[in-house]
Structures are given as structure tokens and as C-alpha cells.
Amino acid sequence: MLNKSQIDAHNEKGLAKHKKGFDYVSGIIPDAEGIIKKLTDFQVAIPSWALGSGGTRFGRFSGGGEPSTLEEKMEDIGLLHQLNRSSGAVSLHIPWDIPTDAKAIKSLAADFDLKFDAMNSNTFQDQKDQKLSYKFGSMQHVDKGVRQQAVDHNIEVIKYGQELGSNSLTVWLADGSSFPGQLNFRNAFNNTLESLQSIYSALPDDWKIFVEYKAFEPNFYSTTVGDWGQSLLYANKLGEKAYTLVDLGHHLPNANIEQIVSLLLNERKLGGFHFNDSKYGDDDLTVGSIKPYQLFLIFKELVEGMDARGLNHATDLGWMIDASHNIKDPLEDLLQSVEAINLAYAQALLVDSKALNEAQLNNDVAGAQEILQDAYRTDLRPVLAEARLREGAALSPLGLFREQKIRQQLIGKRGEKTVATGL
């Protein structure tokens, strides 16, 4: 949909202004080149279910030109990656995105320079030809038959992932209860553990399993993997290939997510991340649109904790966006989310960790705050743009998306009334 000369022409137009900004900021920070290198390596996976307009339980407004097949979803992600060179991975949800011809999907991914990130299973909905219902849970269910069905589904998802070259499975369960007395908590926990153990024993040696937690919704009284403590219990009991996955929207209000991240890294049990933003619950809003300072603080802990553990920022954790909503163009939304993630990451890289450590040792509270806010308030957007420019991406991905009227082109190709599979 985009060719190199269109990207070059766009960049040419913005070059003089960009150069001024980049020259200025690279002159006042210690290591712009180091940040550019890290940004170039850092890729954020796009979930296949975020490419269509998400609905709420009150309705759904289709945006038009949405992808209706897995191939079209890959095309959309390929386009994002062309625009920013930071979205080089895709995360699939089964059965929404069954790769019927895995070879063809793999070669399409290679054409777009995309990798397959974590595979996601789905035992929170009943599918058309499904034998037993998940109405009262899946892995926690009182009926062993339902539990086995959920286990079998996850093993099938691993098989699809192996065909595509993925090496991780994310399990998010809607299991829980909506009313006091509905569930025996201990039995629900133990049934879930047993089910996860069966999946774990089918996990290939070089795979990881991520146990995602969520405080509430769709159940409103208890959730069986409700917080990071419960997830960590499962991950510890399962073994070294099992990790906790943090989704930013899955906490009770005001939770200190940066502290959670820090401690999980300390335990070597942080496996992956779902980025989004929220004001009230699991709102799945654009990353960085509501609480950008919190996002920066989280990244500061990620960088510090990963460095302390000798982990590679780009490859040792699964980074994914998990946002989808009602009123924005989903591709524009994803471009904004990736930009916000990269910005918070770059700001965290800028933190003077040596000075911060000294301030902490001296109980210099005001000094510590200055160090953090100095990094946060430095405008690093030209550094991000420079990283894109060098990789052949657009100085302004969203600007180019609009200049080329890409949504209108997609509507022309796919139609006005389209519905992408997913939520």
C-alpha cells in the first residue's frame, strides 16, 4: 500500500524541522545514539484483534475497511510496521485467527518482516460447534469434561503456534464467580492449577507460558487468576517455563503497577506485557493517553530490573499492545500506542541511574524526584523520529497514514461495512 518513494517524499518535507529538533536534543542528552540503537531493536507485537473497531456491550460502530481474514490482518500489521519499523510482530488469538494454511501465513509474515509473538487461547467464549459450555468457567470448572476441553484447546493452540514459529502461549481466563457462595475458591484454584499443569506438560522445551491475571470482568465477585499474587503462585508451581503476564488494565484502581513489575522481575517471573491505558477499569484505551507518567515509571522499573537481571530488553520479555476500542480508527490508535510505548522506553533509558542510586542511598527524596522528572520532561520525540528515519520508516507515521488516505484506500478495497473477527 505504501512504496518507498512515498515514504521518502514525506520525510523530505519534514526533514529540516526534524533536524533542528534532533540536533538540539542530541546535544543535551548523554547518549542519543545508544537510545536509537535500543529503540531500533525494540519491537511491539500487535494483537490480531485490535485491527477492527472494538465494541462495548452497548454497541459497535464499524469503521469500514476492516480486515476480515487473517491475511488482511497481517497486511494491516505489515503496513504499521512499514510506517514505524517498531511493530514487527503479531499476536494471534485462536480460534479467531486459525491459520488454515500455516505455510502461506508464514511466508506472508516474512514478506512483511513480521514475527509471531505469543499465541492466545480462548476459553472465555463458547464457539459454534463446541461440545461443553464455559458459562461457569473453563479450567476451574466443577466438571472434569469441561476442564479437559479447555486443556485440549490450549494444546491445539500450541500446535498452531509451533507451525508458525511462535514460542509462547498466553493464557487469560475469565474464570471466577459473580456471586458470593457460587464458587469454592480453593477447589477453583486447584482445578485451575491441575489444568494448567496438563498444558505445561505439553509445552515444548523452548516455549514459555504466560499466566495473565485480571481483577474483575466478566466475573464481578471473584476471579480465579485475579491478581499478580495468584498468577505468581501458578507460575511458581508450574515451573521455570511459566511466567506472570502483566496487562496494565487488569488492576484495581490506583494499584502501584511499577512496584509489581519490579518485584516480578526480582523473582525472575515477569514474562510479558499487555499495554493499554485506562481511567476506570479494563478500558483498553490508547497507550499513554491517560497516565503517561505512570507508563514512564513502569518502564523505568522494567529497564532497571531487566538490567539488574542481565535480560535483553528487546527479546527476553513479550511486549504486546492489548487495546481496542470504539471510536478511533484502529490503525491510527495502534500507531499512537506504539509511539507512546517507545517514548516511555526512551525516557526510561535516559534516567541517570547512577545519580538516582546515590540519591536513594542518601535519602535525598527531592533529588530522586528531580532525576526522574528530568528524564520524563525531556522531549525525546525527535530521537524516536531519527530512529525511524534511519530504518526507512516515516518521520510521522500518523501524518503519512493520513496524507496517503490509507483508510479510504482500505475502504475502497474491502468495503464500507466490514467486521473484523475479535471482540
C-alpha cell at 46: 500487535
Residue 117 touching Mn ion (CB under 5 A):
no
Q: Is residue 223 a contact residue for ligand PSV (CB under 6 A)?
A: no
Q: Minimum Å distance from CB 262 to Mn ion?
A: 20
Q: Measured between alpha carbons, how far is residue 12 from residues 7, 19, 24, 206, 398 in Å?
A: 9, 11, 19, 44, 16
- Window 126-185: residues binding ligand PSV (CB under 6 A): 172
State the binding string over 303-342 for ligand PSV (x if CB under 6 A, else -): -------------------x--------------------
Cα–Cα distance for residue pair 335/11, rounded to 1 Å: 17
CB of 344 within 8 A of CB of 381?
A: no
3-state secondary structure (DSSP) of residue 87: coil
Q: 198, exposed or middle or buried, with CB in 10 Å at 0-12, 13-18, 19+? A: middle
Q: Which of residues 23-52 bind ligand PSV (CB under 6 A)?
A: 49
Q: Which residues, 233 to 262, sit near Mn ion by CB under 5 A? A: 247
**408: its cell numbers:** 479510504
Question: What is the x/- site pattern for ligand PSV, positions 49-68, by CB under 6 A?
Answer: x-------------------
Cell matching residue 20: 533542528
Site for Mn ion in 260-279 (CB under 5 A): 274
**Using CB distances below 5 to 8 A depending on partner kind, what does residue 423 bind out of ligand PSV, Mn ion, none?**
ligand PSV
Q: How far is the CB of 248 from Mn ion (least distance, A)?
A: 9
Q: Closer to ligand PSV by CB, 29 or 215: give it.
A: 215
282 binds ligand PSV (CB under 6 A): yes
Q: Is 274 in the site for ligand PSV (CB under 6 A)?
A: yes
Distance CA 42, CA 22 (A): 20
Q: Are 231 and 211 in contact (CB under 8 A)?
A: yes
Q: Report the nearest approach of ligand PSV to the CB of residue 120 (Å).
A: 5
Helix (H, G, I), strand (E, B) or coil at 6: helix
How far apart CA 13 and CA 154 sit, in angstroms, is 49
Q: How far is the CB of 417 from Mn ion (least distance, A)?
A: 27
Burial class (CB in 10 A: 0-12, 13-18, 19+), 271: buried
Q: How far is the CB of 232 from ligand PSV (least distance, A)?
A: 17
- Contact set with Mn ion (CB under 5 A): 247, 274, 282, 322
- Contact set with ligand PSV (CB under 6 A): 49, 120, 172, 212, 214, 247, 274, 282, 322, 423
